[in-house]
Amino acid sequence: MLAANGASGRVALMGVLNATPDSFSDGGAFASPKAATRRVQQILDEGADIIDIGGESTRPGAESVPAREQIRRVSAALSYSVAQGAVVSIDTASPEVADFALGEGAQIVNDVSCLADPKLADVVARHQATLIIMHSRGPMSQMAGFSKYPEDGYADVARDVADEWRKARDIATKRGVEPSRVWFDPGIGFAKNATQSVALLSRLDEFQELQAVTVVGPSRKSFIAALDGAPPAERLGGTIAACLEAAARGAHVLRVHDVLAIRQALDVRRAIDQGTMEDKLRA
């Protein structure tokens, strides 16, 4: 597990497993137990540090999925991941789903609701687990669309995101979650338009004042398509660029679909920065 203070010489990669029929980038591809476990093994083989398993789509307009159905969708991938010794994150805003997953061996709850249900923090505290609080505003069913949000929706997007996230963190810690186990995600693309998402990435270093592990998920997001209209499957180049910049500006964890490509890009960037490529070629 990543050090609680985020200190690490290597950015951690969180590989995405959407066990859903309707996620925006790969909906349905890994919905069956067999496909889901194959995807888990691929993520591990490609070098992911964390596997993020979700049974509910977070695309704009998506309706909430009952806890029982989320559990059914994620069970096979969760069991397989834990059996492989992987660090597992459960992507859910449901206390019931989180309780099940943590009881089965997951170590992290990835909450994209900005702690809309404070009882989620109670579950995390009871299991002494880690809670990723992602900044967002309102449920997915009320999101206007991909990268659609009023230009005047924030007085200052970085300051507003930090302030609203702090309020959620305060609730979590008051309910028993260890402060060092509350991680920050600025929520790229969630209740943000493309300009606001890019602004958050360019100002990511400002969030160091939160003194929290910073998780960033730019992978295949619609802000990339604002430049060229590319569909999700054709946004790898933009994803790599965003990941490299996020890492340079202080991200500790990157949530990505394309683990191998992002790891390669980060390794080359680090080798260039450290001047170690020549030594590796000689080895």
Bridge partners, residue 18, by sequence: 54
Angle between helices 95-103 and 67-83 (to 10 degrees): 20
Residue type (1 letter), 58:
T
Instruction: Tell me if residue 161 falls in helix, strand or coil.
Output: helix
Catalytic residue among 73, 220, 221, 263: 221
Locate 254 and state its tokens: 């990157």
Q: To 5 degrees, how large is the angle CA 173–CA 2–CA 219?
A: 95
Q: One of 255, 269, 270, 282 is an active-site residue; which one?
A: 255
Radius of gyration of the chain (CA): 18
Q: Which residues of 80-96 are buried (b: 16+ CB within 10 A; e: fewer)?
A: bbbeeebbbbbbbbbbb
The crossing angle, in degrees rounded to 10, of helices 194-202 and 157-174 is: 80
- Picking from 200, 59, 198, the residue whose alpha carbon sits closest to that of residue 142 is 59
Q: Which residue type occupies 254? A: L
Name which of 50, 128, 109 is nearest 82 in CA terms.
50
Q: Is 39 an active-site residue?
A: no
**Calpha distance 187→20 (Å, rounded):** 20
The pair of three-digit structure tokens given for residue 34, joined into one six-digit string? 């067999």
167 carries an active-site annotation: no
Residues labelled as active-site residues? 221, 255
